Amino acid sequence: MSEVLKVQDGQVVSMDYTLHVDGEVLDTSAGHEPLEFLQGAGNIILGLEQELYGMAIGEDKKVVVQPDEGYGAIDPEAFVEVPKEQFPPSIPLEVGTEIQVTDQDGRPMQARIDSVSDDAVTLDFNHPLAGKELHFNVKVVGLREATDEENEHGHVHSGGHQH
């Protein structure tokens, strides 16, 4: 009798999932291919990865991930006040508007408008899911041993792409 494969480090996991935050579906693999990742390589958030150990193909589970094992707590340092005149007229200065800015090194960064006053706009550079409790419904739909190359690179090579 062959041993039932269970999720462990060094395996490629194929997983169907749905993510709920504040009662709303934020992300799901429904209608798409399952998510494939290398277990133990930090390809997915820590809190979810930890809960998958020992699951077998066909098994499903509800997982609640707290902010410290998800996208982190809200960082008060990540709020930046910017004078209103620095915004082009094409950007709607409304709470919740997502904008892309560049840092000092020219790298793009995502921010959301947190508040607007008479002469300034406060931008929030926290990840949109920082401080949120993440509710996952997950089902393991496939498991295989990772190849040496996948283990070495720390991620899945799907469709046989070459590096």
Contact call for residues 23 and 17 (beta carbons, < 8 A): no
State the pLDDT at residue 2.
Answer: 58
Q: How many CB atoms lie within 10 A of CB 86?
A: 9
Exposed/middle/buried for residue 5 (C-beta within 10 Å: 0-12, 13-18, 19+): middle
Q: Are domains 11-71+132-154 and 76-124 of this chain identical in fold?
A: no
The pTM of the full predicted model, rounded to 2 decimals, is: 0.81
Mean pLDDT of 9-20: 97
Which pairing describes strands 134-145 and 60-65: parallel, antiparallel, or unpaired? antiparallel
Rg over alpha carbons for the chain, rounded to the nearest Å, is 20
pLDDT tier, 160 (very low <50, low <70, confident <90, very high otherwise): very low
- Within 8 A by CB and 6+ apart from 8, the residues are 39, 40, 53, 54
Coil/strand/helix, residue 136: strand
Question: What CATH number labels 11-71+132-154?
Answer: 3.10.50.40
- How confident is residue 130, by pLDDT bands cut at 50, 70 and 90? very high
Per domain, the residue ranges of the chain are 11-71+132-154, 76-124
Best CATH choice for the domain 76-124 from the list 3.40.50.300, 2.40.10.330, 2.102.10.10, 1.10.3470.10: 2.40.10.330
pLDDT the model gives residue 1: 53
120-124: strand order across its sheet? 79-83, 120-124, 108-116, 98-102
Quote the pLDDT of residue 103.
81
Pairing of strands 108-116, 60-65: unpaired
**One-character DSSP codes across 79-97:** EEEEEGGGS-TTS---TT-
Stretch 2-14: mean pLDDT, rounded? Answer: 89
Model pLDDT for residues 31-72, shown as the tens digit of each residue: 999 999 999 999 999 999 999 999 999 999 999 999 999 999
User: Can you read off the two tokens belonging to residue 76?
Assistant: 């008060």
Distance CA 66, CA 49 (A): 13
